[in-house]
Amino acid sequence: MLTDNYLSRNYRAILLSEMPQHVLPVLEVDGKQLSQSLTICRYLAREFHLCGKTAWEQAKVEEIVDTMEDLRLEVAKWIYEKNETKKNEISEHLKEQVYPKFAKILETSLRGNEENDNSSGYLVGENLTLADLSVFETLTFPLTIHPSILDDHIELQQHRHRIKTHKRLSDYISNRPLRPV
């Protein structure tokens, strides 16, 4: 049973001081605490069999997760920039260079999986993996600031829809609270 505790800013400072690395997120399992978001993702993926079936599939899943971390770092530049002029420049760079580059990488991965006789519509192998979740989640915030990112990428739109409507995910995705960045 997962409890998703999102904290208001007021409680955050108090709680952070009690966290092992004084940052969030932290996963608590049976009273034990685990820091680092990607470590948490990989642990949960192993627990719930979302890492790929073979060593090769596992590597391909990690390749996509690491690629999404590269995208997240690019978007973070926009989030943390305070100067309006520079922020607009980063926004243009994201729209003209960064999103198209990552969209191409993801389309190639989707097509590569199909060419390996996987008609699942997932990124790696025949089943949902952490790679699909990582792509879905990493694009969620950018789509709120740049809603047209996927306009020219029908396969990625279909992939997003597939994750959003997955029977084990749709309730959670449609009912979870919006998170300020």
Residue nearer to ligand GSH on the CB measure, 25 or 121 = 25
In the region spanning residues 32 to 91, those forming contacts with ligand GSH, defined by CB under 6 A, are 36-37
Shortest Å, Cβ 99 to ligand GSH: 22
Shortest Å, Cβ 135 to ligand GSH: 17
Name the token pair of 164: 């959003």
In the region spanning residues 14 to 43, those forming contacts with ligand GSH, defined by CB under 6 A, are 16, 23-25, 36-37
Q: How far apart are CA 64 and CA 118, in angstroms?
A: 17
Shortest Å, Cβ 29 to ligand GSH: 16
Q: Which of 93, 12, 163 is nearest to 172 (CA)?
A: 163
Shortest Å, Cβ 146 to ligand GSH: 21
Residue nearer to ligand GSH on the CB measure, 11 or 56 = 11
Shortest Å, Cβ 69 to ligand GSH: 9
Residue nearer to ligand GSH on the CB measure, 37 or 118 = 37
Residue nearer to ligand GSH on the CB measure, 20 or 112 = 20
Residue nearer to ligand GSH on the CB measure, 6 or 172 = 6
Q: How far apart are CA 6 and CA 25, in angstroms?
A: 9
Please work out the total of residues on this chain that contact ligand GSH, with binding judged by CB under 6 A.
6
Q: Which of 20, 13, 19, 25 is nearest to 179 (CA)?
A: 25
- The helix-helix angle for 130-145 and 55-80 (nearest 10°) equals 20
Q: How far apart are CA 125 and CA 148, in angstroms?
A: 28
Cα–Cα–Cα angle for 167, 107, 86, rounded to 5 degrees:
100
Cβ atoms of residues 124 and 64 within 8 Å: yes
The residues binding ligand GSH (CB under 6 A) are 16, 23-25, 36-37
